[in-house]
Structure 1
Amino acid sequence: MDDLVWDQGVVKLAGVPGRQVDLATLARVAGGMPESDAVRQALDGEPGLEATRFCTPVHSTWAAGVHAAVVEVVPDTGFVKVLRYLVVHDCGRLINPMIVDGQVQGALAQGIGGALYERLVFDRTGQLLTATLMDYLLPTASEVPGAEIRHVETPSATNALGARGAGEGGIIPVNAVIAQAVEDALRPLGVQVDAMPLTPDLIRQWFANFSARGDA
């Protein structure tokens, strides 16, 4: 083994020009399709091949997007319903539009969870009190609207595909967008949204504070 040299995807025999085998051949051998009995004997009949390579891009590919939401706030219950949610997203060339749409829709659901439902509660000793789905509230399909998704394709100049990232653009703005929509709906109350999630208890407290000031 000391005489073997790995060079650019090829295993070479040191000091013997022309004696080499490429990774594809090794993969066929390791997968149970040997090129010769000698190679099979060398592997003792045990399949298996693992190779790792790393790529460090020279340039990042930044995506861009705009989100907008229409919400309804029910004063009596404090419940917030997302009526419409619009996403305009530019992740460069769309290689698989259906996958990108699914990514945006799933990310929106996760964002709505963080904005309106999901809350980590700890007691004084640091014990997590919302450790199960009995206590940790998640949005269901009825709480997540179908996102109205529009795509703008501006090909990236930093890679041959012209693609940009689509992984995070669907979730990063959601909390801020919903917070701003709720704050706009509660503008007569003079509320500044500075806490998340926007639970019914929190919103009812804002209405109670407004009434206590005698502004109702």
Structure 2
Amino acid sequence: PTRAITLAELARMVEEQPDLIEHEKPNPANGVPIEGLVAWRDFNPSNATFSSGTHIAVVQVDSETGNVHILQYVAVDDCGTVLNSYLADAQVHGALAQGIGQALYEEAQYAEDGQLLTSTLMDYTLPNISQIPSFITGVVETPSPINPLGAKGIGEGGCIGAPPAVVNAVLDALAPLGIKTIDMPLKPEKVWAKIQAARHGTLQEPEPAMPKIFTTDKGEQESGASIFL
């Protein structure tokens, strides 16, 4: 509050001291020099900024129904300089809800003729408030050298980190049954079917294919390659 001024005060200051605003460029529309309470600036970053983070999910899988319950979720993101911690947390929370939806519920289904079958909220499943856990979140501030604010993205972290964190937690819970893969979204019927197949000895689990970026020209897997958050 002590650093705030009203718009009227700002206008009066510029009227009395026009040099307070440095006009870097003329008006792009007509080339006329810009004067008064108007400023024009361009900023072209030299490169892209990349945020990073660590996401951990603790889940419970009901072996009789296939339902997945998220017991705890922890996310720590390095988003550069944080200007407003409340808005930063809101970005993370919203993105985590979206990422959890991708992992467990949301799926666009199409008919053979290309007609979208999940075109309304009656058909397209979104997580509700009872299916989203309370999050434990934190930030690490490593300012980016690419822009004056030192800012990086933060909303992307939940969308990117939540799906593998949740899916890997479910697969870890089901690992004793020999289950290695389940296609997203991990809806109860998919999880239940995998559990039943494992119990009845009909489970077929091929080894997940190694991404091409981790293979040699001959298609052989390179040793020591791993992906982690």
The SS at the match of 1:8 is coil
Residue 134 of structure 1: which of 98, 109, 122 is its match? 122
Residue 212 of structure 1: which of 187, 200, 218 is its match? 200
Residue by residue, what CA displacement relative to the aligned partner does 1:12-61 show, whole Å, maximum 9, x if unpaired?
x99xxxxx652546x7xxxxxxxxxxxxxxxxxxxxxxx99764211222
Give the C-alpha shift of residue 157 in structure 1: 2.1
Give the C-alpha shift of residue 214 in structure 1: 7.9
d(CA) in 1 for partners of 2:84, 2:132: 23
Within 5 Å, give how 1:19-168 maps onto structure 2. Answer: 22=34, 24=36, 55-168=43-156
Residue by residue, what CA displacement relative to the aligned partner does 1:87-119 show, whole Å, maximum 9, x if unpaired?
011111111111010000000000111110111
Give the C-alpha shift of residue 158 in structure 1: 2.4
Q: Is the 8 A contact 1:10 1:23 kept in 2?
A: no
- What is the one-letter code of the residue matched to 1:91? C
Q: Is the 8 A contact 1:119 1:197 kept in 2?
A: yes
Structure 2: tracts of 5 or more residues without a match: 1-23, 204-229
Higher strand share: 1
d(CA) in 2 for partners of 1:9, 1:142: 55
Divergent runs of 4+, >3 A: 51-55
TM-score (normalised: structure 2): 0.71
Residue 9 of structure 1: which of 26, 39, 44 is its match? 26
User: When the two structures are aligned, how many residues end up with a matched partner?
Assistant: 179
TM-score (normalised: structure 1): 0.75
d(CA) in 1 for partners of 2:121, 2:36: 47
Residue by residue, what CA displacement relative to the aligned partner does 1:161-210 show, whole Å, maximum 9, x if unpaired?
22222231121111111110000000111111240000000011011101
RMSD: 2.6
Structure 1: tracts of 5 or more residues without a match: 1-6, 15-19, 28-50
Q: Is the 8 A contact 1:9 1:23 kept in 2?
A: no
Structure number with bigger Rg:
1
